[in-house]
Amino acid sequence: MSYKPQLTGSWWLKHRFFKAYMLREATVIPLAFLLCSLLAGAFSLQDPERFQHWQAFMSNPLVILVHTLALTTSLYHAATFFVLFPRVMPIRVGNYQLPARYLVLAQWGAVWLVVALFIWLFAFGGQS
């Protein structure tokens, strides 16, 4: 005779490690909202009036707040992902194992490259 305690829906509230995991997974929610907004924008291109509605929607402070949240939570997700990456795909050059911190730094470097590209595109209109 034995008993087996069942895992309840609140299992992730029991330890800060699980809470951090759920937060990492929940970062998809504001991101999904941003993607839906962008998708709606793509469809609204068919009609000038709809495009104006979409622009008004995008400048709503509440929408800007959720989109800012999407940016910050995505950066948090990236930070957690970049640390996990060297563990999932350790890179070996011959017999030399590339230290994890280099891989983490390289990923952040790639992020800054993309950020710099967008700053160049938006602030200078793609002209130097």
Partner 1 sequence: MRSIQVLRYLPEESPQPFLQSFQVPVTDSTSVLDALNYIKESLDPTLSFRWSCRMAICGSCGVMVNGIPKLGCKDFLRNYPNDLIIEPLAHLPVERDLVVNMDSFLRHLEAVKPYLIEGKNAADSSQPNRQTPAQMARYQQFANCINCGLCYAACPQFGLNPEFTGPAAIALAHRYNLDSRDSGKAQRMAPLNSKNGVWSCTFVGFCSEVCPKGVDPAAAVNQGKVESAKSMLIQLFSGRAIGGAGQ
Q: Which residues here bind partner 1, judged by CB under 8 A?
A: 1-5, 7, 11-12, 14-15, 17-18, 21, 25, 84, 87-90, 95, 97
Alpha-carbon gap, residue 109 to 83, rounded angstroms: 14
DSSP string, 65-113: HHHHHHHHHHHHHHHHHHHHHHHHS--EETTEEPPHHHHHHHHHHHHHH
Which residue lies nearer to partner 1 by CB, 17 or 118? Answer: 17
Kindly state the smallest distance separating residue 36's Cβ from partner 1, in Å.
24
In the complex with partner 1, the residue whose CB is nearer, 33 or 85, is 85
How far CA 81 is from CA of 4, 41, 78, in Å, comes to: 34, 29, 5
Between 3 and 124, whose beta carbon lies closer to partner 1? Answer: 3
Cα four-point dihedral sign 6, 10, 14, 16: positive
Shortest Cβ distance from residue 72 to partner 1 (Å)? 21
For residue 2, the minimal CB distance to partner 1 (Å) is: 4
Which one, 9 or 126, has the nearer CB to partner 1? 9
Closest distance of CB 46 from partner 1, Å: 37
Q: What are phi and psi of 124, to 5 degrees?
A: -115, 5
Which structure tokens are listed for 95?
């017999």
